[in-house]
Amino acid sequence: MGWIVDLYLPIAEMSVNALVIIGLGALVGFLSGMFGVGGGFLTTPLLIFYGIPPAIAVASSATQVTGSSVSGAYSYFRRGQVDVKMGAVLVAGGLMGSVLGSFLFRWLKSLGQIDVTIGLIYVLFLGTVGGLMLKEALATLKAQRAGQAPPRRGRRHHPLVAALPMKMRFPRSGIYISPLAPFLVGAGVGILTVIMGVGGGFIMVPAMLYLLGMAAGVVVGTSLFQILFVTAAATLLHATQSQTVDILLAALLLIGGVAGAQLGARAAMRLPPEKLRLFLALLVLAVAVRLAIGLTWTPKELFSIQTALA
Partner 1 sequence: MRWLAALLLLFAGAAQAQQPRLVTDLSQSRIDISYRFAGAELLIFGAIQYPGGVVPSEPPGIAVILRGPVEPITVRKKARIAGIWVNTEALRFESAPGYYAVATTKPVRDLLDERNAAIYEIGLRHLQLSPATAADAETTGRFQEGLVKLRVSEGLFVEQPYGVQVTDRILYRARLPIPSAVPVGNYQAEIYLISDGRVRARSTAPVIIDKTGFERSLYVFAQDHGFLYGLFAVALAVAMGVAAGQIGRRA
Minimum distance from CB of 148 to partner 1 (Å)? 37
Measured from the CB atom, the residue of 144 and 296 that comes closer to partner 1 is 296
- Among 50, 71, 169, 273, contact with partner 1 (rule: CB under 8 A): 71
Residue 273 CA to residue 156 CA, distance in Å, equals: 23
Closest CA to 185 of 162, 220, 211: 211
146: contact with partner 1 by CB under 8 A: no
Q: Which residues within the stretch 76-115 sit at the binding site for partner 1 (CB under 8 A)?
A: 112-113
67: contact with partner 1 by CB under 8 A: yes
At position 83, the amino acid (one-letter code) is D
Residue 44 CA to residue 247 CA, distance in Å, equals: 15
Helix (H) or strand (E) run with residue 219 in it: helix 216-241
Closest CA to 90 of 210, 237, 207, 235: 207
Closest CA to 30 of 259, 285, 306, 298: 259
Residue 195 CA to residue 102 CA, distance in Å, equals: 7
Burial category of 59 from C-beta neighbours within 10 Å (exposed 0-12, middle 13-18, buried 19 and up): buried
Q: How many chain residues are in contact with partner 1, going by CB under 8 A?
A: 60
- Among 19, 121, 236, 285, contact with partner 1 (rule: CB under 8 A): 236
User: Is residue 60 within 8 Å of residue 246, measured between CB atoms?
Assistant: yes
251: contact with partner 1 by CB under 8 A: yes
Measured from the CB atom, the residue of 112 and 150 that comes closer to partner 1 is 112
240: contact with partner 1 by CB under 8 A: yes
Q: Give, as one character, the DSSP assignment of residue 167.
A: -
Minimum distance from CB of 201 to partner 1 (Å)? 15
3: contact with partner 1 by CB under 8 A: yes
Minimum distance from CB of 194 to partner 1 (Å)? 13
- Among 13, 20, 286, 293, contact with partner 1 (rule: CB under 8 A): 13
Residues that bind partner 1 (CB under 8 A): 2-3, 6-8, 10-11, 13-15, 63-64, 66-72, 74-75, 112-113, 116, 120, 232, 235-241, 243, 245, 247-248, 250-251, 254-255, 257-258, 261-262, 265, 295-296, 298-299, 301-310
